[in-house]
Structure 1
Amino acid sequence: MHNDYLSELFSDADIPMFMLDTSGVITHWNAAIAKLLDVDSSDFTGIPIDTALHSIKNISIREPINVSTLLRLELSELNLLHKGESARPEKLKITCHAGPDEQHILCIGHHITQQEEFSQPQKNLQKQYQEFIKTTSAPVFVIDEQGTIIEWNAAMEDATGHKESSAQTKNLIDHFTRGNETIRLRKILDQAAQGIFMPFFDLVLLTKSGKNVRLKANVYPRYNLQSESTDIVCISQQQAVQKSESLKAIQTDKLATLGEMATSVAHELNQPLNVIRMAAGNTLKRMDKLPMEANYLRDKLKRISEQTERAATIINHMRMFGRNADEAPAPIQPKLAIHGALGLIGEQLRLAEINVLVETIDTPLWVKGHQIQLEQVLINLLTNARDAINSNTTGEKRILIKLDATDDHARITLEDNGGGIDTIAIDRLFEPFFTTKEMGLGTGLGLSVSYGIIQEMGGSIDATNVNKSACFTILLPLLLIT
């Protein structure tokens, strides 16, 4: 929980609450949850949720905890049995909600058999929640199951230009969406009304001036003490803010990649420098033998010039790769991005004795984006393939890159013979900070950043296992260039 507006809500809440990060580790634990579970107020921060609950003697877990399922919000609650001093065991329930920062899960605990004990804390939490909606800098609104707006905070006023007084009692879908967005949002809200959490989807609303405002939204139902859905809450973030954070992640990943490639690039630069040194040295020796032959001198100077250009090309490519992509997306050729990526990491692959095969079609393919960012995606995939091959392959080491086209997409596939991807990990590959590598060998950002780049280009990226080989497929919408 890194957002200030949630920190205050959490620390002041009388209702039992704790937070999990994306790895299932408890990041925050308040005194009320300790009281509910009848344990001392010792802090469980930093302990995995399953370890923490299994360590409490008076608590039995009614079904196994599947942390990965819980984190994907496929399981919305944990049911526990409290074996305290009471005459009969008490049922406890912990409900889980997606955090608005996309990095945490909020867990709230309460009795089922003795809910009346928590009526006042529930009221206090409701009051704090309403205060949070009013004061947070995140755009937040609340609607009923028919889509009628109940609450509309100041940040929503800033984002849309619609004042709360004019927005309240209006139907969100009828008055703030149009076209395909109306149909799409109606489906999302119908699912939320059925108790299905809808995290991290794109929400497009009409502003007062008639323009579109894009938000990244989390929608989930809110319940009363009888576990009845009362309304739907939407906590969102403007795309411009999210875009800024995405660009920071992209730049962080690029700089990490540059650092990893330093040895390879140094080797690449040494080759033209050695040629220049030898050409200059031979020329100096020849100068002692007069007269100097013009053709000999011309040949050596031409070689020096060519190698200088080669070194400059390597340096300029590194400089371009490392800078921010501030310009607007433009038509680019995936084929050039493939060659550019191999120009930066190819020496590493050669030193690792990995044979890289490239198969491309002759027809030029055009897509919209940033070539440097597409190179970054390919370098991330090539780096992961290299690491997998080095760890798991004893015979021939091979990477195959193909570029072809479907009816309306350019398709890039990258396949390696590094043993494939663990079936447990394959569904989480593109999550931020998730890595299958040993501690210190991976940031867990590469594939997450790659996913964001491809999505920003309007495309898709997915991973599969093919004959014990990992295969990544990138699809990018084709542009018609005349």
Structure 2
Amino acid sequence: MPPRRRIDTQPPAPPQGMDDAAWVDVIQKMDEVYSQLVTDEIELEKKNAELEQSQQFIFSVLSAMSDVLVVCDAQGLIEETNAALCELVGRTDQQLRGTSLYDLLADEASVAAARAVMGNRSPTRRGDSIELNLRGTGGDSVPVDANCTPRFAASQRRVGTVLVARPTAEIRRAYQELRTAHEALKRTQQQLLHSEKMASLGRLVAGVAHELNNPISFVLGNVHALSRYSERLRDYLHAVHEGLTPAELQALRTKLRVPHILDDLPSLLEGTIEGAQRTADIVNGLKRFSAVDTETRQEVDLNKVVDRSVLWVSKGAPRDLQLNWQPGEPHLVRGNAGQLQQVVMNLLENALDAIAERPGQTPQLSIAIDAMPSHYLLRVDDNGPGIPEVNLSRIFDPFFTTKPVGKGTGLGLSISYGIVEQHGGVLLASNRLEGGARFEVRLPASELSRVGTPPNGEIFR
């Protein structure tokens, strides 16, 4: 701050010929000038203090920036830097000032990219984003994501460039770690999904075994009959080749009941084929349900999904169960048949478990599918005790269960919720006014449902 100048306020001797009034006017003008000088000097000191504070603030901001900052002129010469850049390249601010920005770049590709941006004659105010490689302290290449913003003078002429860059090595490493964790989470989710499916499948073994026993027994009975028939036909053909008389052949034909065998063969073969086909369908359904799911999506008829789920679950249901389900016209959605079947089976099994908690009353289970303009609504109602209000907000949480230890994993509804969500739908739970619980599955209708069903109608087999 410059020292204050001393102003002598003592008036000089009055010149010859000046009266007292004129001299008083001179003294007043001198006082006014002095007062204005003092005021201007105080204001100047104030402005200087504010300027020092602003400079200190800008310096502290530049020092605190974790991103790299470089201010260049129109020729690419460095005019200003920050501590982050100095630390990254291992040079001081004084060493960097006046040097070329291109000397900091590690490869020709980065130099070319920087020259292209800084040589742009019609840049935007927001600048351009480019990827550069800076030469680090040890000479190694440091990748950065840079934003180059032009500097303009008052005349709107470009006078330089401000480059703000962030090292991306840590970001890429963090992204890679996040991606690895995400892949591990997806694998864990698939394992949980598969484990829950196996648990559901284990509960259905008895029912499925009974379901398989019927067609297998039917096939075995027919095969034994065909075996006996083949022995009789072999004996008859042997007699024909031996050259027996027509009378003897007729007697043998009657004894072996050859006409009856010939009449019975078509029905035996037809029944055997039907039983084998039913067995193959059940096995294929088990394979589809138990296999690890893929991302394959196809047209699925919700009626077929419910039919198969009811068939399997009802094997372990109480004998007096009143099941209200009537399939209607095809309701097509786009999705994975095995996953959707798992959802329906989980809902049915939970409903049966809830019904079992109220012994003494007739168990009732109602299933319905309503067609909406853009989606289908699948409802599963039971007459169990319902869901406590305190549990409604937690019922889809992983590992949450009200069943005794060993009776449930707490994953069925959580996995079902995720499956429905992956199919673009929503799974809701509520209590009915007349008692019992209601689960609703809302799934978007496929395009085929809106334009018509396929000619063969076989969507989910």
Number of the residue aligned with 1:438:
404
Which residue, 191, 197, 200 being the options, matches 1:257? 200
- 1:114-153 superposed matches below 5 A: none
Is 1:368 the counterpart of 2:337? The answer is no
Task: Write the distance in 1 (CA, Å) between the matches of 2:146 and 2:373.
Answer: 44
Could you tell me how far 1:417 is from its partner in structure 2?
1.2
Could you tell me how far 1:392 is from its partner in structure 2?
1.2
Is 1:423 the counterpart of 2:389? The answer is yes
Task: Write the distance in 2 (CA, Å) between the matches of 1:330 and 1:281.
Answer: 41
Number of the residue aligned with 1:378:
344
Judging changes above 3 Å, is the alpha-carbon distance between structure 1 residues 266 and 290 closer, same or farther for their aligned structure 2 residues? Answer: same
Q: Is the 8 A contact 2:357 2:385 kept in 1?
A: no
Structure with the higher fraction of residues in strand conformation: 1
CA deviations 1:356-394 (Å, max 9, x no partner) are: 2214442x3322210110000000011111111122142
Which one has a bigger Cα radius of gyration? 2
Number of the residue aligned with 2:356:
390
Q: Is the 8 A contact 1:361 1:404 kept in 2?
A: no
Judging changes above 3 Å, is the alpha-carbon distance between structure 1 residues 239 and 412 closer, same or farther for their aligned structure 2 residues? Answer: farther
The DSSP-based 3-state class of the residue aligned with 2:292 is coil
Task: Write the distance in 2 (CA, Å) between the matches of 1:333 and 1:298.
Answer: 34
Judging changes above 3 Å, is the alpha-carbon distance between structure 1 residues 167 and 472 closer, same or farther for their aligned structure 2 residues? Answer: farther
Q: Is the 8 A contact 1:360 1:404 kept in 2?
A: no
The DSSP-based 3-state class of the residue aligned with 1:419 is coil
- 1:287-302 superposed matches below 5 A: 290-292=256-258, 293-302=261-270
Tell me the TM-score normalised to structure 1 length: 0.49
Judging changes above 3 Å, is the alpha-carbon distance between structure 1 residues 380 and 453 closer, same or farther for their aligned structure 2 residues? Answer: same
Q: Is the 8 A contact 1:425 1:436 kept in 2?
A: no
Is 1:400 the counterpart of 2:366? The answer is yes
Number of the residue aligned with 1:354:
321
Unaligned runs of 5+ in 2: 1-141, 148-167, 169-174, 233-254, 452-461
Judging changes above 3 Å, is the alpha-carbon distance between structure 1 residues 397 and 458 closer, same or farther for their aligned structure 2 residues? Answer: same
Could you tell me how far 1:238 is from its partner in structure 2?
6.7
Number of the residue aligned with 1:411:
377
The DSSP-based 3-state class of the residue aligned with 2:325 is strand
Name the structure, 1 or 2, with higher relative contact order (CA <8 Å, separation 6+): 2
- 1:316-355 superposed matches below 5 A: 316-349=284-317, 352-355=319-322
Could you tell me how far 1:328 is from its partner in structure 2?
2.4
Number of the residue aligned with 1:63:
none
Tell me the TM-score normalised to structure 2 length: 0.51
Give the residue type in structure 1 aligned to 2:390.
I
RMSD: 2.9
CA deviations 1:33-80 (Å, max 9, x no partner) are: xxxxxxxxxxxxxxxxxxxxxxxxxxxxxxxxxxxxxxxxxxxxxxxx
The DSSP-based 3-state class of the residue aligned with 1:431 is coil
Q: Is the 8 A contact 2:380 2:440 kept in 1?
A: yes
Aligned length: 256
The DSSP-based 3-state class of the residue aligned with 1:425 is helix
Structure with the higher fraction of residues in helix conformation: 2
Task: Write the distance in 1 (CA, Å) between the matches of 2:360 and 2:186.
Answer: 42
Give the residue type in structure 2 aligned to 1:297.
L
Judging changes above 3 Å, is the alpha-carbon distance between structure 1 residues 480 and 418 closer, same or farther for their aligned structure 2 residues? Answer: same
Could you tell me how far 1:430 is from its partner in structure 2?
0.5
Which residue, 440, 443, 459 being the options, matches 1:473? 440
Task: Write the distance in 2 (CA, Å) between the matches of 1:236 and 1:314.
Answer: 39
Unaligned runs of 5+ in 1: 1-162, 169-207, 209-214, 216-234
